[in-house]
Structure formats: C-alpha cells, structure tokens
Amino acid sequence: MDDKIMIVDDDIKLLKSVERIFKQEPVKCFLFSSPANALKEAPEIEPTVVVSDLRMPEMEGTFFLEKMKQMLPATVRVLMTGYADIDATISAINQGQVFRFIKKPWDSHIFRSEIRHAVQYSKMLRRLVHSDAEPGESERTERLTGALEMAGAVCHEFAQPVQIISGYCEILTEELNRQPGVSGFKEPVSHILQSTERLKELLLKCMKVQRYKTRPYLLSSRIIDIDAATTE
C-alpha cells in the first residue's frame, strides 16, 4: 500500500511541484492550499506524513501542525520554512510539533530525501505499535516491544536537539558565506554538519531495531550489532 503524504501550502505552484516530485514514487499525495480544509479531510485520509508551510494567510503552519498532532499523533509532521523564520521553527521542534523542517527554497532532491526519512520514521513507529508475536511468546514480545518503545522514544528525544544543531549550523554556513575573512570557520562548521548527519543516520537505524543481535567488543564483552539487528 502506498504511503499517504499530505502537503499544505497556499502556493499552488509549489503544490504542483511537489506532485511532480513524487509522481514516480510509491506514495499518494494529497494537496491542500487551505489548512482548514486539510484538517477536515485528515481523519479520513490518515496521512503517513504531513508537510506544511509556516507562513499561510489562513493559519500559521505551527498552529496547523499542533492541531494535526492532537488529531493524529502518529502522523509524522514536517515544517517548510524560510531563513527568517528559523526561531519559530526551532520552537516548533522543541515543543514536539514537528519531526524536522525543510528550508525554503528547497532543492527537489533534498525535499524527496527528507520526506523519505519522515516516511521511514513513521514506519518505525507503526512497527512499535503492531507486534508479530508467535503463539506462546507474548511475555517475551511484550518485554521486547517495551524495550523498542523506550529506544524509539530516546532516539526521538535525541533527534530534536540534533535537528536544532543542524539548523543552526546551516544558518552559520550562510552567514559565513556572506562575511569575508572568516573562511577559517567554514571547515569546522562543515565537520559539525557532517557529524550531525551521521548521527541522524544512526538514530534512524536504532529506531529500526527488530531483533537482538550482538557482536564481539572489547576483551570478552559484546555489544549490540545495529546493522544486523535492523536487517529486514
């Protein structure tokens, strides 16, 4: 079954651009220029991911996503925002209204990649809710599910500050590109961005752990083998 993605923006041209981006993807796009109409249709659609612009004349994107959170808490929420609105975006991330943000104007490849990550995160959440228990394994499955739920919650809590660090690094990069004579700072900021992206990848992997697999570690100890534990 195709994943359902709801896109909300008062810019009709942008909605058509998004539709073209996902034309060949295994997703079904629901496009809305009115956040109020999107809220009315959301319970029936039950989108996997909802993407909203921040600045809309009818309703602020943060308010819209807060309503979506109350209505469909399992739906992954993404905010589109401009450079000048970074403070509002960080506030929305801190309050748990959004999973991540996409800076406008966006590149189509980056936009597609970010939405794929949001879809993957949504699938992880659904795996935690629905168990594939074998008969007679209810107690073991309950304990494993509890551990996975805790791991998912911890990863989600880590993901928010990581996203904030990444956002501030992007702002710093833009400021450094405008300022002459500060090129020496660009490389350290670039390294921070690369490290946060790596951390995001690890957090996504941890969210996908499905089985208990270990590998040898220091001396005679063992640690969780994340790659083996996340293999489908």
pTM of the complete model beyond 0.85? no
Lowest mean pLDDT among 25-39, 112-126, 172-186, 202-216: 202-216
Give pLDDT, residue 134: 47
Give pLDDT, residue 212: 64
Element (H, E) at 102: strand 100-103
Chain position carrying tokens 């004579």: 181
Angle at alpha carbon of residue 159, lines to 82 and 173, rounded to 5°: 45
Percent residues over pLDDT 70 in the chain: 71
Coil, strand or helix: which one is 45?
A: helix
Please write the tens of the pLDDT for every residue from 166-218. Answer: 777 878 887 788 777 777 777 888 888 888 888 877 777 776 666 667 777 66
Lowest mean pLDDT among 43-52, 107-116, 214-223: 214-223
The stretch 158-173 carries a mean pLDDT of 78
Report H helices in the chain.
12-21, 35-45, 61-71, 86-94, 108-129, 138-178, 186-207, 226-229
Asked whether the predicted pLDDT for residue 12 surpasses 70, the reply is yes
Please write the tens of the pLDDT for every residue from 127-156. Answer: 654 444 444 455 555 555 556 656 666 676
